């Protein structure tokens, strides 16, 4: 017999302290508690009303994905796009939303629409909203009136564009007379009608072969269609769009997200934009800043750096054009400095010479007296302010921020804020009174309050060369310090990247911890947010000091935290993290199992199959034929004879950064060596696994693999 002692004061039929006895076999203890609760006249829900539960994959997919803040000119409202995931339909769908700038309930801005909608942009007078709507294969631009008092759309939306290739990325000219947008066209086509004829011919042709005559024949996840992105302008009242950047170059260049790479001057007469006009784009990071009259004409190059220049932004008074600039050619992870170009005397000024961090998001104060920016720093992305008279930016608030935006009154700075335990939400910073951070949206609050999520715990240890190296630790739900927990050791990509106090819908530390694991991450040499010298030290040393940092970081965790079970550890990584897993495979047997996602395995073969050649040529200090020693030194394939650790290999067919052949080579090698191994292959994914059901399979396969090898007594 078993007895359960009930002491809940809310139980009416059983007195507090009364013992209820019954034969429990073969009942589970949870069932005993459930039956006891029923006998007591209490619902299980009432007993566990304040309990939180571990996060599941379904919870991750149920999170609402909040886009960048778009404040109305009067500062009363903030519009944004929100993406919802339908797991069973295997879709992601964005809609327009709005929230009071002071915070409150968010609501659909255009609730009657079933189309995918994105990029809301208020007109300069605040009386209209411009947005992108996609009902079929192509997206188009629409404008509708906006009730500034009620914060809602009025009347029937008017379609602004009908361009055959679709329109996106729209911005207003500050005078409200024009709209600038991006469309992808054949550079030799004279108009949209000719573009459509060419597209139709490609679609109808039974021959799908392509003839390549130069590099960049494929990029990221797509093969070239011999088309280019161009900037177009169309009058706000409608008309035929006009190509502002004709020619065989992309405007703007390919980007994985972030701030727009083009802007309109305050008087509406000029456009600044980013483009790479080097002859061999596959070996060049030399994006440049150009300006061209809105009326059309010959572009003028303003930037002078051999590295990348991007994200031009005019000061509201029109006196300056600011942009981010890298000094070194061919290095995509060089420090981004903040450059001011004087439109009065055509001089360039580096405003962040004394600031050893890389500038990310930027926003001018409406009075043009200061510029606000974010920059990675020790696992966060604080907000800084820079005035022309200051020698370096001043930190305002220490959070993980991005997407800075002002309303015209300049009273509040709006931004996206996230933590490892909170998906991105819109927040604001009071710049006139308290300088306090205020949450504006809370779209995921109801779900988050149900989940047992933990914050990062930072630690620092002496790494390679005695340098101070930072790591973070995340505890599982229901953590008990008296117990021993297995470890998931996550390794970030890049290599010039970093683990930070931010949310992820792909490699989510909270979800990795939810099944009872301690999650450990380390930001080794090469990571961003610790100064440019620290970032530089991975190049040419992929398996050297960074590997030493990782192993020393894990040693430190094992020695410092008694709840860590050092005999039940798994290591997982993607991209450069995948390379490091492959490197670990040949250099240590300390892990019970490994997960290698889209990692470099054979350095020479990887060079020949990638598209952004500047990356490999910088990291390995040349090509395989002029520096074969370094390619051989850091190629995991040369250490295959040491492979013993059970390994899960994951790769996507559409990953052109690290070709799928790298995964096949690794899996073949493991199988021939009789190392326990499996391969998860995605024919429809690139460098990232993005489709909802593919993501579910990815998470479940990894979880099952790690559970199998880290279970107590597993061999």
Between CA 595 and CA 489 the distance in angstroms is 10
**Phi and psi torsions of 251, nearest 5°:** -135, 110
Q: How many CA atoms lie within 13 A of 157 on its CB side?
A: 22
Report the Cα 711 to chain-centroid distance in Å: 32
Q: CB pairs under 8 A, 24+ apart, for 246-249?
A: 246/187, 247/187, 248/187, 249/187, 249/275, 249/276, 249/277
Per-residue pLDDT band for 50 (boundaries 50, 70, 90) equals: low
- Encode burial over 487-521: b for 16+ CB neighbours within 10 A, e otherwise: bbbbbbbbbbbbbbbbbebebbbbbbbbbebbbbb
Sheet containing strand 139-147, edge to edge, reads 116-122, 128-134, 139-147, 152-159
Task: Average the pLDDT over 616-624 and give the result.
Answer: 98
The pLDDT value recorded for residue 137 is: 80
- Residue 51 burial (CB < 10 Å; 0-12/13-18/19+)? exposed
Q: What values do phi and psi take at 517, rounded to 5?
A: -120, 145
16: which residues sit within 8 A by CB, 6+ positions away? Answer: 6, 7, 8, 9
Q: At what angle do helices 545-560 and 576-585 cross, to 10 degrees?
A: 80
Amino acid 705: pLDDT: 98
Q: Is the CB of residue 529 less than 8 Å from the CB of residue 491?
A: no
Q: Would you place residue 40 in the very low, low, confident or very high pLDDT band (cuts 50, 70, 90)? A: very low
SS3 647: strand
pLDDT cut 70: percent of the chain above it: 93
| Residues 107, 97 contacting (CB under 8 angstroms) | yes
Burial 98-117 (b: 16+ CB within 10 A, else e): bbebebeebeebbeebebbb
Query: Above 60 in pLDDT, residue 109?
Result: yes
438 prior amide bond cis, ω within 30: no
Q: What is the pLDDT of residue 292?
A: 98
pLDDT for position 388: 79
Whether residue 39 has pLDDT greater than 80: no
- 639 vs 397, 547, 573, CA distance in Å? 47, 15, 18
Separation CA 520–CA 573 (nearest Å): 12
Range with the lowest mean pLDDT among 342-356, 383-397, 602-616? 383-397
Examine residue 650 and say whether the peptide bond preceding it is cis (omega within 30 degrees of 0): no
> How many residues are listed for the chain in this entry?
715
Query: Are the C-beta atoms of residues 605 and 660 closer than 8 Å to each other?
Result: no
Q: What is the pLDDT of residue 617?
A: 98
Token pair listed for 476: 């599982």
Per-residue pLDDT of 572-607, as tens digits, reads 999 999 999 999 999 999 999 999 999 999 999 999
Question: Which tops the pLDDT comparison, 409 or 169?
Answer: 169
Please give the pLDDT value at position 389.
78
∠177-262-370 over CA atoms, to 5°?
95
pLDDT of 47 above 60: no
Domains in the chain: boundaries: 2-47, 454-710
3-state secondary structure 390-448: CCCCEEEECCEEEEEEECCCCCEEEEEEEECCEEEEEEEEECCCCCCEEECCCCCHHHH
Q: Residue 443: its pLDDT value, please?
A: 97
The overall pTM is greater than 0.85: yes
- Position 11 scores a pLDDT of 32
- 622-649 tens-digit pLDDT: 999 999 999 999 999 999 999 999 999 9
pLDDT over 90 (residue 18):
no
User: What average pLDDT does the segment 291-319 reach?
Assistant: 97
Q: What is the dihedral of CA 354, 502, 655, 710, to 10 degrees?
A: 120
Query: Which residue reads 């949450």 in tokens?
Result: 439
Task: Give the pLDDT confidence of 232-251 residue by residue, as tens digits.
Answer: 999 999 999 999 999 999 99
Structure tokens belonging to residue 571: 């290591």
454-710 CATH fold: Rossmann fold (3.40.50)
Can you tell me the distance from the alpha carbon of 339 to that of 386, in angstroms, rounded to the nearest whole number? 12
Residue 26 pLDDT > 60, yes or no?
A: no
Stretch among 24-33, 117-126, 591-600 having the lowest mean pLDDT: 24-33
Task: Provide the percentage of residues in the chain whose pLDDT is more than 90.
Answer: 89
How does 209-246 read in b/e, with b if 16+ C-beta sit within 10 Å?
eeeeeeebeebebeeeebbbbbbbbbebeeeebebbbb
E strand map for 23-151: 65-66, 70-71, 77-86, 91-100, 107-108, 116-122, 128-134, 139-147
Using DSSP bridges, classify how beta strands 564-574 and 593-597 pair: parallel, antiparallel or unpaired: parallel
Decide: 54 and 477 in contact? Cβ < 8 Å.
yes
The tens digit of pLDDT for each residue in 402-456 reads: 999 999 989 999 999 999 999 999 999 999 877 789 999 999 999 999 999 999 9
- Per-residue pLDDT tens over the stretch 154-168: 999 999 999 999 999
DSSP label of 312: E
**Mean pLDDT computed over 74-101:** 97
Q: Looking at residue 224, what is its pLDDT?
A: 87
> Residue 419: its pLDDT value, please?
98
> pLDDT-derived band of residue 2, with 50, 70 and 90 as boundaries?
very low
Q: What is the pLDDT of residues 476-527, one digit of tens each?
A: 999 999 999 999 999 999 999 999 999 999 999 999 999 999 999 999 999 9
Q: Which of 516, 486, 520, 474 lies closest to 714, judged by CA?
A: 486
Q: Residue 337 pairs with which residues in a beta bridge?
A: 325
Quote the mean pLDDT of the chain.
92
The two tokens of residue 11 are 């139980």
Q: What are phi and psi of 674, to 5 degrees?
A: 60, 30
| Rounded Cα–Cα distance for residues 303 and 299 (Å) | 12
The 10 Å Cβ neighbour count of residue 9 is: 6
Write the CB contacts of 244 (distance below 8 Å, at least 6 apart in sequence).
Answer: 180, 230, 231, 232, 233, 271, 292, 294, 296
Answer for the pair 399, 383: CB distance below 8 angstroms, yes or no: yes
Q: How do residues 172-186 score in pLDDT, each as one tens digit?
A: 999 999 999 999 999
Residue with tokens 């034929």: 625
């Amino acid at each position: 017999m078993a007895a359960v002692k009930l002491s809940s004061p809310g139980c009416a039929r059983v007195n507090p302290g009364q013992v209820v006895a019954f034969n429990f076999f073969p009942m589970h203890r949870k069932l005993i508690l459930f039956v006891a609760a029923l006998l007591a006249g209490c619902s299980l829900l009432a007993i566990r009303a304040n309990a939180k539960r571990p996060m599941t994959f379904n919870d991750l997919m149920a999170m609402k994905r909040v886009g960048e803040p778009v404040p109305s000119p009067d500062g009363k409202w903030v519009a944004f796009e929100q993406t919802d995931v339908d797991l069973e339909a295997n879709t992601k769908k964005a809609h327009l939303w709005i929230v009071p700038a002071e915070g409150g309930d968010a609501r659909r801005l255009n609730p009657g629409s079933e189309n995918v909608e994105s990029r809301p942009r208020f007109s300069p007078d605040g009386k209209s909203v411009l947005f992108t709507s996609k009902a079929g294969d192509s997206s188009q631009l629409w404008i509708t009136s906006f009730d500034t008092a009620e914060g809602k759309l009025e009347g029937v939306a008017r379609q602004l564009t009908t361009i055959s290739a679709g329109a996106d990325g729209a911005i207003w000219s500050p005078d409200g007379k024009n709209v600038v947008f991006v469309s992808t066209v054949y550079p030799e086509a004279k108009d949209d009608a000719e573009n459509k004829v060419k597209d139709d011919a490609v679609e109808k042709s039974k021959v799908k072969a392509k003839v390549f005559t130069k590099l960049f024949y494929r990029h990221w996840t797509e093969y070239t269609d011999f088309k280019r992105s161009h900037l177009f302008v169309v009058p706000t009242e409608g008309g035929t769009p006009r190509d502002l950047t004709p020619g065989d170059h992309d405007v703007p260049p390919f980007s994985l997200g972030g701030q727009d790479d083009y802007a309109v001057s305050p008087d509406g007469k000029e456009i600044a934009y980013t483009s790479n006009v080097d002859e061999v784009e596959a070996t060049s990071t030399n994006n440049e800043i150009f300006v061209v009259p809105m009326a059309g004409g010959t572009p003028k190059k303003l930037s002078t750096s051999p590295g990348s220049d991007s994200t031009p932004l005019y000061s509201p008074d029109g006196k300056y054009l600011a942009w981010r600039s890298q000094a070194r050619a061919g290095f995509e992870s060089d420090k981004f400095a903040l450059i001011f170009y004087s439109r009065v005397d055509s001089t360039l000024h580096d405003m962040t010479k004394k600031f050893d961090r890389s500038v990310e998001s930027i926003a001018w104060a409406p009075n043009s007296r200061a510029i606000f920016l974010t920059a990675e720093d020790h696992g966060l992305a604080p907000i800084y302010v820079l005035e022309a008279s200051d020698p370096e930016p001043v930190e305002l608030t220490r959070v993980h921020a991005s997407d800075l935006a002002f309303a015209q009154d300049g009273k509040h700075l709006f931004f996206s804020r996230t933590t490892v335990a909170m998906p991105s939400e819109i927040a604001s910073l009071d710049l006139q009174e308290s300088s306090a951070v205020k949450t504006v949206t809370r779209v995921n609050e109801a779900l988050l309050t149900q989940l047992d999520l933990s914050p990062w715990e930072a630690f620092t240890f002496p790494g390679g060369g005695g340098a101070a190296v930072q790591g973070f630790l995340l505890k599982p739900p229901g953590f008990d310090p008296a117990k021993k927990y297995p470890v998931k050791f996550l390794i970030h990509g890049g290599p010039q990247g970093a683990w930070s106090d931010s949310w992820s819908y792909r490699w989510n530390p909270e979800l990795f911890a939810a099944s009872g694991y301690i999650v450990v991450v380390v930001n080794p040499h090469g990571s961003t947010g610790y100064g440019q010298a620290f970032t530089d030290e991975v190049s040419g040393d992929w398996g050297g000091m960074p590997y030493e940092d990782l192993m020393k970081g894990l040693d430190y965790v094992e020695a410092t935290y008694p709840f860590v079970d050092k005999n039940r550890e798994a290591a997982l990584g993607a991209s450069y993290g995948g390379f490091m897993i492959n490197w670990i495979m040949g250099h240590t047997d300390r892990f019970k199992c490994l997960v290698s996602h889209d990692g470099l395995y054979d350095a020479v073969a990887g060079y020949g199959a990638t598209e952004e050649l500047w990356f490999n040529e910088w990291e390995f200090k040349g090509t395989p034929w002029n520096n074969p020693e370094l390619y051989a030194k850091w190629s995991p394939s040369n250490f295959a004879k040491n492979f013993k650790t059970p390994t899960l290999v994951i790769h996507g067919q559409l990953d052109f950064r690290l070709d799928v052949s790298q995964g096949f080579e690794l899996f073949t090698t493991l199988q021939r060596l009789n190392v326990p191994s499996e391969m998860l292959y995605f024919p429809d994914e690139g460098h990232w696994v993005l489709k909802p059901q593919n993501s579910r399979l990815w998470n479940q396969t990894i979880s099952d693999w790690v559970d199998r090898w880290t279970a107590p007594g597993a061999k």
